[in-house]
C-alpha cells in the first residue's frame, strides 16, 4: 500500500461551496438581503463559478477593478472584451451583459412611468437609460402632447464615437407622424463631456427655426454624458 499523500500536496479549493456560509453570495442573499451584498458578490452570482485558483468573487473583483468599480462602464463592455479575463468564457460574458441590460431596461421603465415633463431633469431621467452608457452617439427625440405628456421616445440616428447625423427633416417627419405638439431633442456624448459642440448648436438652431415655422416647438435639447447632462433650456439657449 502506498504511503498517504502529505497534506501539503493538496491545493485549497476556491469554489464558493467550500466557503463559510456567511461568505457565500447566494446564501448571504437568502439569509440577509440583496442589499447586504457587494457589487462583486452580486456579479459572482451572475458568473456562477470561478476556477481552481480563483473564486467567482475574486474574479468579479478583478473585472470590476478594470473599470474602477463603475457599473456604468462595465455595462459598455462587449463579449470580446469580457472574455479577455481568464476564467470568463462566452457563456459568462453573455450572462453579465444580459444582467446589466435588464438593469438598464428597468431604469428605462421607471423613467417612462413619469409621463409628464415639467423640467430638464424629467427628460434626462427618461432618456438616460437609453443612451447614457452607449459607446457611440445616438440622436433621439421625445415627443409630447399638448399637456407635455410623453408620447414616445424615437431614435433618429446612430453614429460613431465622434458623432452622429441629426437631420432636421427626419426629426420633424417622425414628430409629425407621431402627432406631436412639442419635441425634446436628445443625444449622448460618449466622451463624458457635456459641453455642446458647434454642430450641436447648429442642429439646435435649425430645429428651433423649423419648429417655429411648423408650430411644433423644441422645448429643450438634452446632451447626456453618463450620469451628467446639459440642458439648452436651462442655459437659456432656446
Question: Do 215 and 188 belong together in one domain?
Answer: yes
Is residue 43 assigned to a domain?
yes
Question: Do 132 and 34 belong together in one domain?
Answer: no
Cα end-to-end distance, the chain, whole Å:
89
Question: Do 48 and 156 belong together in one domain?
Answer: no
pLDDT band of 139, cuts 50, 70, 90: very high
pLDDT band of 28, cuts 50, 70, 90: confident
Compute the CA torsion angle 124, 125, 127, 133 (nearest 10 deg). 100
Question: Do 23 and 39 belong together in one domain?
Answer: yes
Give the chain's domain count.
Answer: 2
Higher-pLDDT residue of 29 and 205 is: 205
Tens of pLDDT, residues 90-112: 999 999 999 988 887 777 666 55
Q: Quick one: 131 exposed, middle or buried, by C-beta within 10 A (0-12, 13-18, 19+)?
A: buried
Higher-pLDDT residue of 11 and 190 is: 190
Question: Do 65 and 128 belong together in one domain?
Answer: no
**Which domain-ending residue is among 86, 106, 126?**
106
Q: Any residues with CB less than 8 A from the CB of 26 and at least 6 apart, and which? A: 16, 45
- Domain range for residue 200? 114-231
Tens of pLDDT, residues 77-86: 899 999 999 9
Is 185 in contact with 141 (CB distance < 8 Å)? yes
pLDDT band of 73, cuts 50, 70, 90: confident
Question: Do 90 and 168 belong together in one domain?
Answer: no
Question: Do 94 and 168 belong together in one domain?
Answer: no
C-alpha span between 17 and 48 (Å, rounded): 11
Question: Do 143 and 78 belong together in one domain?
Answer: no
Is residue 131 assigned to a domain?
yes
C-alpha span between 193 and 172 (Å, rounded): 27
Report the CATH number that the domain containing residue 135 is assigned in CATH: 3.40.140.10
Select the highest-mean-pLDDT range: 11-15, 27-31, 36-40, 92-96. Answer: 92-96
Question: Do 44 and 148 belong together in one domain?
Answer: no
**Which domain-ending residue is among 106, 134, 166?**
106
**Which domain-ending residue is among 74, 89, 106?**
106
The average pLDDT across 119-136 equals: 90
With a cut of 70, say whether residue 9 has pLDDT above it.
no
pLDDT value at position 8? 44
Question: Do 79 and 147 belong together in one domain?
Answer: no
Question: Do 16 and 66 belong together in one domain?
Answer: yes
Tens of pLDDT, residues 179-203: 999 999 999 999 999 999 999 999 9
Tens of pLDDT, residues 13-22: 445 455 444 4
- pTM, to two decimals: 0.62
Amino acid at each position: 500500500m502506498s504511503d498517504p499523500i502529505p497534506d501539503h500536496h493538496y491545493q485549497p479549493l476556491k469554489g464558493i461551496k467550500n466557503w463559510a456560509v456567511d461568505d457565500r453570495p447566494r446564501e448571504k442573499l437568502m439569509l440577509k438581503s440583496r442589499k447586504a451584498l457587494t457589487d462583486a458578490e452580486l456579479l459572482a452570482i451572475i458568473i456562477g463559478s470561478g476556477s481552481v485558483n480563483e473564486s467567482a468573487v475574486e474574479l468579479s473583483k478583478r473585472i470590476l477593478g478594470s473599470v474602477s468599480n463603475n457599473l456604468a462602464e462595465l455595462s459598455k463592455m462587449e463579449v470580446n472584451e469580457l472574455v479577455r479575463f481568464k476564467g470568463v468564457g462566452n457563456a459568462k460574458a453573455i450572462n453579465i451583459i444580459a444582467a446589466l441590460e435588464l438593469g438598464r431596461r428597468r431604469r428605462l421603465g421607471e423613467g417612462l412611468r413619469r409621463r409628464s415633463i415639467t423640467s430638464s431633469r424629467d427628460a434626462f431621467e427618461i432618456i438616460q437609460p437609453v443612451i447614457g452608457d452607449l459607446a457611440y452617439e445616438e440622436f433621439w427625440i421625445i415627443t409630447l402632447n399638448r399637456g407635455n405628456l410623453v408620447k414616445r421616445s424615437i431614435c433618429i440616428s446612430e453614429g460613431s464615437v465622434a458623432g452622429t447625423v441629426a437631420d432636421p427633416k427626419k426629426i420633424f417627419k417622425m414628430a409629425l407622424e407621431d402627432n406631436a405638439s412639442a419635441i425634446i431633442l436628445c443625444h449622448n456624448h460618449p466622451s463624458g463631456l457635456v459641453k455642446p459642440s458647434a454642430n450641436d448648436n447648429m442642429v439646435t438652431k435649425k430645429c428651433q427655426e423649423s419648429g417655429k415655422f411648423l408650430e411644433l416647438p423644441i422645448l429643450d435639447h438634452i446632451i447626456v454624458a453618463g450620469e451628467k447632462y446639459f440642458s439648452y433650456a436651462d442655459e437659456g439657449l432656446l
